[in-house]
Structure 1
């Protein structure tokens, strides 16, 4: 891992540990894509046994730090993504799905759910997106109405990670009008009236639509106060958005490493590809974009860890630049492999499919541009 002024020695040690865990526990299965649900559970179990999932929850419930250390999350995501995109995703979702519970859950909810998340046993999900409410998260239509001592949930969620295997899901549903009319709920596996339809993606993930057919939740399933769900969702995304950039860094670094290895060994036109100036230009572009993205990602994480209430601008910049740069870096690296780059199962081919979703989930690149511009226009 490259040195940056935003990391401490403990983060560099954590990076080495995460890379070693990847080499030992993930390398043997990194090219598997069949049986994604079972594979995901196996990966999560390995991450839990290795102690990495403990970084996703507060220390009071089995975690490592008193509160989430964003630089640690970024460090782990970068190293896991270098090895295996699905492993990065498994780790990240433990944090994204459980963080609203850590922020707003009752003591009973936290004590019941979070220790299992820390051990890698309870699979979590974050259910915000709907068929007609993607980037416009305020347009939610999935509803929750109070009936006696229960909440009755009706509606549909789409593109929900871990939908097919979740144990605990943070659900955002409409209980009133406007952004202040969104509330958050804890939905546990086996809840009657909850149906999941798997969705296939270009890079296999346990993704699905979640359909709520008058599903009934106890009144205690509410997370925090009624009407505080939208604020809770934004606070969670604000924290984890920069970590998406870290995952993109890991994928881009792997692509660059693969490209360097290939051009050193591949002979063309009487010598190694690495001797051609045009090839060197592509590698230089990759290196420049990697380093620029790395600084933005860890600056955003450092800012949050220093106590900033919000890092809206910093996180948006980090995610936008890191994911867009990574797409270009991986594309160039595949090009440098020639025909070998499009053979299914090679590292660069897999990375080419895996990186694409990162420019969309947790706020598409275009949304990040709007956020960045609005934040800038607020300044005098």
Structure 2
């Protein structure tokens, strides 16, 4: 079984990241508008060299970055993670031309990426995607027939599309037209490009999905922001016959589910690292508060019920941390049980962080519910990770599936 331990260099780097997050990233985060992409913050992550490390380091380093940043500035952590999630398919499966065009801008922090998988009717069940990638000639013929030989707005079929910027069209002839919706997409609708997963073969389940790199200025692509509990930007996207070409495919046609799952296997443990960072911040705040708060003739920490609660918070946080870095080490070593370990790490860490932050709020009392308090902020941040990138129930399903597959393989 893969093992993990921090060496002195790792420990020093984590301390440096916490300091950078507190001194250089926190002020930029405070100036950002909740629910919108904070481009100055993303650019600073690029200047610090952290975005480039998303693509030059392994899962362990990714987890160390996410945990350290989350401890001092969750907004910076999330901005970093979303750049990685949106651009990792490009890094792993993109053509040289695709990578040359976008990756330098992603690592500089001048282009914002997004991972567009979820839909109104297909969140955790990613194999149920309904966004259609229809062959362009079929889609255009159907549209032509539906409107009696004219475009939908009544223009002759050979007239120029209204309102479409010439430089927004794809470089080559459209091979598919994307039609449908995406929802709960982080960084939408403000990203500069999207990794979009669409159904190219109807009725084929997970085997009929293709990943596309879709610039945000493609004609027919629009989006709206969603007002969510989490402070980072989340939106919905509408695809109205958005043209994509063979040059926009990431990986192979009908193999997009493999692209999505490969990305999630890397990022699920690091979601756990994000959760561990929040739990650690809540734990440290609780230690400080209970050691100085006067109550019942002593300090809060002198009450056995409080001391035992704090011990339980620390126990669970450390167990989650070990699970996260065991999964990350397994990923870096190419272990065969990565899907199981990634699911275990995300499940345990996100559920643990929810428990620890809630317990921290309880021990702080009403002050922790006041707007602007660290724990009020963490309380809003900690809920979403139990849902996105595969809800806790989905992780349990993955774990059970992998366990029974191991049993059958052994038999």
Report the TM-score when normalising by structure 1.
Answer: 0.93
Residue from 52, 55, 69 that aligns with 2:53: 55
CA deviation string 1:35-60 (max 9, x = no partner): 5425x212111111111111112xxx
Distance 1:375 1:35 in 2: 39
- Higher alpha-carbon Rg: 2
1:134 aligns with 2:123: yes
1:195-344 correspondence to structure 2 within 5 Å: 195-308=222-335, 311-344=338-371
Distance 1:120 1:85 in 2: 17
1:156 aligns with 2:181: yes
Structure 1 range deviating more: 6-15 or 267-276: 6-15
On the 8 A contact 1:290/1:325 being kept in 2, the answer is yes
Residue from 373, 391, 398 that aligns with 1:371: 398
Alpha-carbon offset, residue 8 of structure 1: 3.8
Alpha-carbon offset, residue 17 of structure 1: 2.2
On the 8 A contact 2:22/2:73 being kept in 1, the answer is no
Question: Aligned in 2, Cα 1:341/1:33: closer, same or farther, shift over 3 Å?
Answer: farther
Alpha-carbon offset, residue 31 of structure 1: 4.9
* Residue of structure 2 equivalent to 1:62: none
Distance 1:35 1:191 in 2: 26
Residue from 158, 171, 188 that aligns with 2:196: 171
* Residue of structure 1 equivalent to 2:10: 11
Question: Aligned in 2, Cα 1:280/1:248: closer, same or farther, shift over 3 Å?
Answer: same
CA deviation string 1:305-360 (max 9, x = no partner): 12336610110010000000110000010001111111111001110110000100
Alpha-carbon offset, residue 29 of structure 1: 4.7
On the 8 A contact 2:34/2:232 being kept in 1, the answer is no
* Residue of structure 1 equivalent to 2:101: 112
Question: Aligned in 2, Cα 1:271/1:334: closer, same or farther, shift over 3 Å?
Answer: same
Distance 1:7 1:229 in 2: 35
* Residue of structure 2 equivalent to 1:96: 85
More RCO (CA 8 Å, sep 6+): 2
Structure 1 range deviating more: 226-235 or 78-87: 78-87
On the 8 A contact 1:235/1:310 being kept in 2, the answer is no
Distance 2:364 2:31 in 1: 22
Instruction: Write out the 4+ residue segments of structure 1 that deviate beyond 6 Å after TM superposition.
Output: none
On the 8 A contact 2:213/2:249 being kept in 1, the answer is yes
Alpha-carbon offset, residue 203 of structure 1: 2.0
Distance 1:302 1:162 in 2: 29
* Residue of structure 2 equivalent to 1:181: 208
* Residue of structure 1 equivalent to 2:156: none
Per the alignment, in what secondary structure is the counterpart of residue 132 of structure 1?
coil
Aligned length: 367
Question: Aligned in 2, Cα 1:141/1:246: closer, same or farther, shift over 3 Å?
Answer: same
Per the alignment, in what secondary structure is the counterpart of residue 6 of structure 2?
coil
Alpha-carbon offset, residue 186 of structure 1: 0.4
Q: Which runs of 5+ in 1 are unaligned?
A: 58-64
* Residue of structure 1 equivalent to 2:145: none
Report the TM-score when normalising by structure 2.
Answer: 0.86
Question: Aligned in 2, Cα 1:119/1:309: closer, same or farther, shift over 3 Å?
Answer: farther
On the 8 A contact 1:33/1:204 being kept in 2, the answer is no
Alpha-carbon offset, residue 118 of structure 1: 1.2
TM-align CA RMSD: 1.5
